[in-house]
Amino acid sequence: MKRLMSRLLAAALLLPLLAVPAQPATASTPFRNPLNPGADPTMTYFNGAYHLATTLGDRIGIWSSPTLAGLATVPERTVWRDPDPSRNKQVWAPSIHRFVRPEGPRWYIYYTASDGVDANHRNYVIESEGDDPRGPYHFKARIADDGEYAIDGEPFVHNGTMYFAWSGPGRGMGGPQQLYLRRMTSPWTTTGNRVALPADGGCHEVREGPTGLRGPGRLFLVYSTCDTGKPDYQLWMKSIADGADPLVLSNWRQHPGPVLARNDAAGVFGPGHNGFFRSPDDTQDWIVYHGKTTSVYTYEGRTTRAQPVTWNSDGTPNFGRPLALSATQAPPSGDPWASQEPGATRSYVSAEQRHHFDRAPDGMLTHWWWDPVDRTVRRDVWGGPIAGRPVGYPVGAEQHVFARTPDGRLRHWWWAPGGSVRQEDWGPGLAGDPTGMVTANGQKHVFGRAPDGRLAHWWAEPDGSVHRDTWTGGDVVGNPVAYAFGDEQHVFARGSDNSLRHWFWFPGIANNLPGLDDWGAVGRVHSDPTGFAFGDQQHVFYRTADGSVEHRFFDHGDWALRTDNWGGAVVGSPFAIRQGQTQQVFARGTDGALWRLVWRPGGSVTADRATAGATTDPVALAWRDETHVLARGADGTLVDWHWQPAGGAAPTSWGGQVAP
């Protein structure tokens, strides 16, 4: 933790928003493997969502989620089922790629299929109708067909030219499976003679699943060896320098030994058949692969896992060792906003569903959710009565919601798949709306203003035990906002002098006591703060006395606190989210309109408005590549404003009644 000292405040300057740094901290939802129960995974990130495909046998399906953690619970979307019986069985190993064509960008899925006889496997490709990896698709071609068994084909680009790599029998001269290469003339055609690429592998029977990874000055071709049913199925690697011809065998370098292999201590066996994808902010490489939890020879139990790729000083990739399923990982850099940014809110995404919690006019805790499967809104009541506004966050497939009771107690509701809503009392001492976050160690944290103006803190351990302390100082008014920043906890609130107060805690802090510093802005903070962590920066927004939105942010890179004003004419408390690299603030306008203030990398802050305004303070969420803002409409119902990229929003009533 790099503590912000008050002496920095004298250096705070009115400057434009800094560019987002290239190495973000981990402030998004932690995840654990597996991501999917399937094998032979391929993954890409596009338009605000991860898109994953695995072997399904009779079809090609894609799972899409705005967060990596969400892939574990989202439904499959079937994108291709071939009616041709000569190629609609034993459908294996899809691989997703995007190429720009004269008619526009198109997605191509390369896969292996047969008529039910293994020896008749060939490589095929389907093409999307538009620029969406979720389809729809149409059949395009059989590709690189030499009249014999061929599987695991996919393209790579080197020196600006496309090549197709696949696995077939013979090692070019008889014997077990071998890798082959051929130049491509389009995403669905190849030309010239095939070239057999010799490849080491620690065993004799298989060389398959060749996948390209671009490194500094070189292309790395990572492939699987041994029988995938064996615990020793593993990844090996060859590489070629930029400028060298891949069809000249002597240009390839064989790297010794496996680059990803079984990890008995972690209970991971047979890691292989991988893909690569870039993090949402395009700063990290990640590997997706399948593995098993048994050393028994079997094709069953292979599940999809992901972990980051680092780069050695010599420019080679380092895949590390396959992680245990119990290992908690930070998500890819720039993983889109989920529930922990800016922390607990009334709206969040869970299992691809959009959820909102609010107080009804009769004081009951009411829950709305939108299901993408049937595209309908449902509503139920979780209990009550409550006072103020509730907040919540998902924890894996569970949903947790907190609210203040009329007598000032903190109440906790939670739901898990297959069960009913449960609740418990976390005790007295709450005078305002709660906020909170889930930390990487599985603790659930809740903060709120106590009756004496101090900051009250509750937390639950993974074993369910609830604890409480008070974070002293602050003289808080209104409602705080909290978020995680790596393994740190940060809370911001408005002081009685209308200043911005900041509490922080990190492992190893002196005496295990939270720190408190002053972010200044005395007399300027006239609303509850909102904010998030992004990259190596911490961002906080609030309404000033003149109704404009002010922004303070601390950059850990140069250790400076800065301030700028985003404009606007708003009332109430704003709400800020990060969506990819875009930062957005939403608030009610003094004229009844709903304002959106947006900053994108390389640009300045822009503003637009929706003419139909909210009658309560809005909250926003990112769902796939969409932005949704929810608040009470003029008729008292819950309204979802789907904000358009070019500006303006399309409102849809979710029904029910929300307390003013």
Report the catalytic residues: 40, 208
311/436 same-domain check: no
What does pLDDT average to over the chain? 90
- The pLDDT tens digits for 393-446 are 888 778 999 999 999 999 999 999 889 999 999 999 999 999 998 886 778 999
State the burial class of residue 295 (Cβ atoms within 10 Å of its Cβ: 0-12, 13-18, 19+): middle
What's the domain count of the chain? Answer: 2
Closest listed residue to residue 143, CA positions, set 163, 118, 129:
163
Taking 70 as the threshold, does the pLDDT of residue 25 lie above it?
no
Q: What is the mean pLDDT of residues 520-535?
A: 90
Residue 1 lies in a domain: no
Place of tokens 């990890």: 263
The pLDDT of residue 353: 86
pLDDT band at 580 (very low <50, low <70, confident <90, very high): low
More confident residue, 597 or 331: 597
pLDDT band at 535 (very low <50, low <70, confident <90, very high): low
Residue 4 lies in a domain: no
More confident residue, 8 or 192: 192
621/583 same-domain check: yes
Pairing label, strands 13-14, 560-567: parallel
Residue 22 lies in a domain: no
The CB-based long-range contact list for 635-640 (8 Å cut-off, 24+ gap) reads: 636/361, 636/660, 638/356, 638/358, 638/368, 639/612, 639/614, 640/354, 640/370
Sheet holding 151-158, edge to edge: 151-158, 161-168, 178-186, 189-197
Closest listed residue to residue 257, CA positions, set 311, 213, 318:
318
- Which whole-number Å values give the CA distances from 531 to 158, 316, 340, 344, 546, in the listed order? 43, 38, 11, 11, 20
Residue 374 lies in a domain: yes
The pLDDT of residue 334: 73
Reading the block at residue 77, the tokens are 């979307």
Quote the CA–CA distance of 157 and 26 in Å, as a whole number.
Answer: 31
Q: What angle do CA 113, 116, 119 make, to 5 degrees?
A: 75
State the burial class of residue 192 (Cβ atoms within 10 Å of its Cβ: 0-12, 13-18, 19+): exposed
- The pLDDT tens digits for 456-479 are 999 999 888 999 999 988 789 999
314/422 same-domain check: no
Radius of gyration from C-alpha coordinates of the chain:
27
Residue 26 lies in a domain: no
Reading the block at residue 16, the tokens are 């434009």
The pLDDT of residue 12: 31
Q: Give residues with Cβ within 8 angstroms of 503, minimum separation 6.
A: 455, 471, 473, 474, 490, 491, 492, 493, 514, 515, 516
Sheet holding 376-383, edge to edge: 347-350, 353-359, 365-371, 376-383
Kindly state the DSSP code that residue 31 receives in the 8-state scheme.
B
109/149 same-domain check: yes
The pLDDT of residue 342: 52
CATH number at residue 173: 2.115.10.20
Task: Indicate the length of the chain as a whole number.
Answer: 660
Residue 173 lies in a domain: yes
Helices (H), 80-228: none
Residue 11 lies in a domain: no
264/297 same-domain check: yes
309/343 same-domain check: no
Largest CA distance in the chain: 83
310/415 same-domain check: no
Lowest mean pLDDT: which of 152-166, 445-459, 573-587?
573-587
Q: What is the mean pLDDT of residues 220-246?
A: 97
- Which whole-number Å values give the CA distances from 385 to 393, 604, 636, in the listed order? 20, 44, 19
Residue range of the domain that includes 370: 337-655
State the burial class of residue 626 (Cβ atoms within 10 Å of its Cβ: 0-12, 13-18, 19+): middle
Q: What is the mean pLDDT of residues 591-610?
A: 91
One-letter amino acid for residue 445 of the chain: H
Reading the block at residue 431, the tokens are 């005078």
Strand partners, 14: 563
CB 533 within 8 A of CB 576: no
- Which whole-number Å values give the CA distances from 546 to 336, 376, 609, in the listed order? 32, 40, 18
Reading the block at residue 336, the tokens are 């889109």
More confident residue, 22 or 220: 220
Q: What percent of the chain has pLDDT over 70?
A: 92
CATH number at residue 399: 2.120.10.70
Lowest mean pLDDT: which of 49-53, 111-115, 596-600, 644-648?
644-648
154/207 same-domain check: yes
59/174 same-domain check: yes
- The pLDDT tens digits for 258-316 are 999 999 999 999 999 999 999 987 889 999 999 999 999 999 999 999 999 999 999 99
Quote the CA–CA distance of 567 and 605 in Å, as a whole number.
Answer: 9
Taking 90 as the threshold, does the pLDDT of residue 10 lie above it?
no
232/155 same-domain check: yes
285/404 same-domain check: no
CA pseudo-torsion sign 132, 138, 140, 141: positive
Strands (E) in 47-177, as ranges, are: 49-53, 60-65, 77-80, 89-101, 104-114, 122-128, 137-142, 151-158, 161-168
205/256 same-domain check: yes
Residue 419 lies in a domain: yes
